[in-house]
């Protein structure tokens, strides 16, 4: 399942949220491609999306969850990249 959390993160003059899969990176990449999200928006285990695209992503099938739930499901999937692994 593709999950999105609320856009809460300011950067580059916009507010951003996260888009993840709770099962595979292949599913995540395929969804991002269908949604027109550029590959440069991928950050190891998620895509960043701007708040103005949220409704469109939900229409495509992304499920809205809290940030806490998104992280819980990402960890449970085994796809989470920790801060230590990012270094």
Largest CA distance in the chain: 35
Residue 20 CB neighbour total at 10 angstroms:
26
Looking at residue 33, what is its pLDDT?
98
H or E stretch at 55? helix 54-60
Looking at residue 84, what is its pLDDT?
66
Residues 15-35, mean pLDDT to the nearest whole number? 97
For the chain, the distance separating the N- and C-terminal CA atoms, rounded to the nearest angstrom, is 28
- d(CA 87, CA 77) in angstroms, rounded, equals 21
Q: What is the pTM of this model?
A: 0.89
Token pair belonging to 43? 């950050």
Residues 26-39, mean pLDDT to the nearest whole number? 97
């Amino acid at each position: 399942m593709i999950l999105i959390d609320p856009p809460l993160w300011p950067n580059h003059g916009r507010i951003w949220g996260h888009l993840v899969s709770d099962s595979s990176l292949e599913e995540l990449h395929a969804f991002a491609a269908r949604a027109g999200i550029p590959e440069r928006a991928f950050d190891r285990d998620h895509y960043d999306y701007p708040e103005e695209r949220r409704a469109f992503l939900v229409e495509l099938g992304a499920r809205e969850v809290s940030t806490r739930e998104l992280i819980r499901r990402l960890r449970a999937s085994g796809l989470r990249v920790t801060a230590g692994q990012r270094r």
